[in-house]
Amino acid sequence: MYLTREEEKMYSGEYGPAVEKSMEILVALGDIYGADGMVEIVSAQIAGVSYKTIGDAGLEYLEELAKEGAQVVVPSTLNPAGVDLDRGPELGFPTEFTEKQLLIVEAYRKMGISTTCTCTPYLVGNVPLLGSHVAWSESSAVCYANSVLGARTNREGGPGALSAAICGRTPNYGYHLDQGRVPNLLVDVETPLKGADYGALGYLVGKNVGNGVPYFRLLDKTQIKPQVNQLKALGAALASSGAVALYHMENITPEYVEALKHVNALDKLTVTREDLNNTREKLSTSQKPDLVCLGCPHSSLEEIKEVANELEGKQLANQLWICTSISIKAAADRMGYTQTIENAGGHVVCDTCMVVAPIEDMGFKVIGVNSAKAANYVPSMCGLDVVFDEWENLIAIKKPDRSKYFYF
């Protein structure tokens, strides 16, 4: 593959061992995938953060890289960690796990990476423009960036995204190229979608399309136009049941007009209400959750507001975590949503989620989720049962103690 003079300097070690090591990784990836050269990036989003997923070996690698003076050269954000970085002990996270987790985040911080620890970087300022090249590694964020923002990124592994952040480049192949963004499956949705339907749809289509590029048409005339929260849920599910990094949606996503040119030649999958209901049933392995976890991908301020409004003046009968970023929680704090949720017995949890946190070691058995991605991953990554449903159906409210009332 072709390297510019500047890239050759990186590769030969003129900018130090950390840059050399990073460029070696990028060149190796480029060779594997047949890239013709590198492309400059405007941002990076780096996975491989939770101690649960990278362990001691990952911690050692990151600390060594930081010692070698590695510094990112583009705005870079982190994926969720395995604990709430500020309230780990208070929320019951294991002490040793928390200590190792903080060391991992500190190593990333030393390299200049923003310790936002969120899978929704596009909600906290990492928002690439249409057509710009980035190196993102969280699968749901990759799907959102390619599909909704129209940016260009492959599904990077953690080391690849970190290397790209250090060098400011990534191999030019796959979704960086026009030919990598052509749809290969037409999906006609005949039923109106709302709430967890978007996750169920993504899970169903991901199973069918694998690592392909689906083109969605929402045919029901009563369909309300999907917004950020619905599109992030759809992409997260597509990326977890399949390996989808890009989808197009007619009249919604920015590249649908170009993609539309290819639609007539595509195989078609028709999705009915029965299909979605069957998928929703399959995603549940139990019936009654002891912990309800919302925020996979991380909750937006609007999603937190909806829950707070529902819980105003009430008490929860089961435990509730709403997972989000520290930035979104700060806004929820200011708006009073966090206080309302905590008054009801719930928690707004930052920096982590039910998939990469050690919830299997925290006494929980059945997790209630409104995320198809979480429903797919919790049984395999945590060994726990799940209930997949609308969040309104998952939370249990305590009934008033009528013995406290006098009747005349």
| CA-based nearest residue to 371, from 394, 350, 351 | 394
- CATH number for 284-394: choose from 3.40.50.150, 3.30.499.10, 3.40.50.1470, 3.40.710.10: 3.30.499.10
Peptide bond into 192 cis (omega under 30): no
* Architecture (CATH level 2) of domain 5-178: 2-Layer Sandwich (3.30)
Break the chain into its structural domains and give their ranges: 5-178, 182-281, 284-394
Do the first three CATH levels of 5-178 and 284-394 match, i.e. the same topology? yes
The pTM of the full predicted model, rounded to 2 decimals, is: 0.96
For 283-330, write each residue's pLDDT tens digit.
999 999 999 999 999 999 999 999 999 999 999 999 999 999 999 999
Position 399 scores a pLDDT of 84
Position 400 scores a pLDDT of 74
| CA-based nearest residue to 341, from 374, 301, 389, 393 | 301
Are the C-beta atoms of residues 45 and 136 closer than 8 Å to each other? yes
Give me the sign of the Cα torsion angle 53, 55, 58, 59. Answer: positive
Position 402 scores a pLDDT of 56
The pair of structure tokens assigned to 398 is 């305590």
Sheet holding 44-46, edge to edge: 76-78, 44-46, 135-136
List the chain residues with pLDDT less than 50: 403, 405-408
Are the C-beta atoms of residues 368 and 394 closer than 8 Å to each other? yes
For 188-243, write each residue's pLDDT tens digit.
999 999 999 999 999 999 999 999 999 999 999 999 999 999 999 999 999 999 99
Kindly report the CA angle at 194 between 190 and 195, in degrees rounded to 5? Answer: 140
110, with CB counted inside 10 A (0-12, 13-18, 19+), is middle
